[in-house]
Amino acid sequence: QQQVKQSPQSLIVQKGGISIINCAYENTAFDYFPWYQQFPGKGPALLIAIRPDVSEKKEGRFTISFNKSAKQFSLHIMDSQPGDSATYFCAASDGGGFKTIFGAGTRLFVKA
Amino acid sequence: GAVVSQHPSRVICKSGTSVKIECRSLDFQATTMFWYRQFPKKSLMLMATSNEGSKATYEQGVEKDKFLINHASLTLSTLTVTSAHPEDSSFYICSAPSYHSYNEQFFGPGTRLTVL
């Protein structure tokens, strides 16, 4: 299975709050799990990524939690800011072909 | 990080015409590039894998005669939408993996195609 399932579809968070987006995958061959941020009319930009040999990765306000046994991973945005309002995509790829499969996306709106 | 450019950023064409979109890796070589299509408020759908020096690999359901891909050099891939129709209107995005950063994909800014 190549699918990557992402939830929620949309999310509204107060400024300063924590935004949490979840993803699940089925293909155990995936070995790279990036998160992308996309603003309207722009291409996606890599936010943070994790490999399955670690359970958590933190970069600034962004943290990925990874549960290999459950085949799930999530993005946490701490101290969410209005500038974080964008669409976030989780994704997965395997090292062989670099082909990246995207989740459906989550539209995040951070209220000022 | 590595930079991928696309040209044009926007194009409007008449139904029945062909449109070529360029994707360039500016500061690295890419033997493989990917083409995605994105409908409004939807996810990126992988259309095809562009391979330098060989034929592109198309995903299931993507018409190879409709979406012609040419990977002419290690820094350039082109997508030509042939005999475009209004339903081809979409946001087309390319990406290229950087072999310096294992698996990491660098995305272009996208091309908005509108077919009248």
- For chain B, 116 residues long, the average pLDDT of each consecutive 10-residue run is 91 97 92 93 92 92 95 94 96 86 82 97
Is residue A1 pLDDT above 60, yes or no?
no
Is residue A26 pLDDT above 70, yes or no?
yes
Between CA B78 and CA B43, with CA B97 as vertex, the angle to 5 degrees is 75
CB-based contact, B98 to chain A, within 8 Å: no
Mean predicted confidence (pLDDT) in A25-51: 92
Query: What pLDDT, on a 0 to 100 scale, did the predictor assign at position A94?
Result: 80
Which chain B residues touch A105 with a CB distance below 8 Å?
Answer: 41-43
CB-nearest partner of B102 from A36, A95, A99: A95
CB-nearest partner of B104 from A43, A49, A107: A49
pLDDT digits (tens, 9 = 90+) for B54-79: 899 999 999 999 999 999 899 999 99
Record: contact B105-A98, CB cut-off 8 A: yes
Q: Tell me the two tokens of residue B45.
A: 């759908």
Nearest-10 Cα torsion for B113, B88, A42, B103: -130
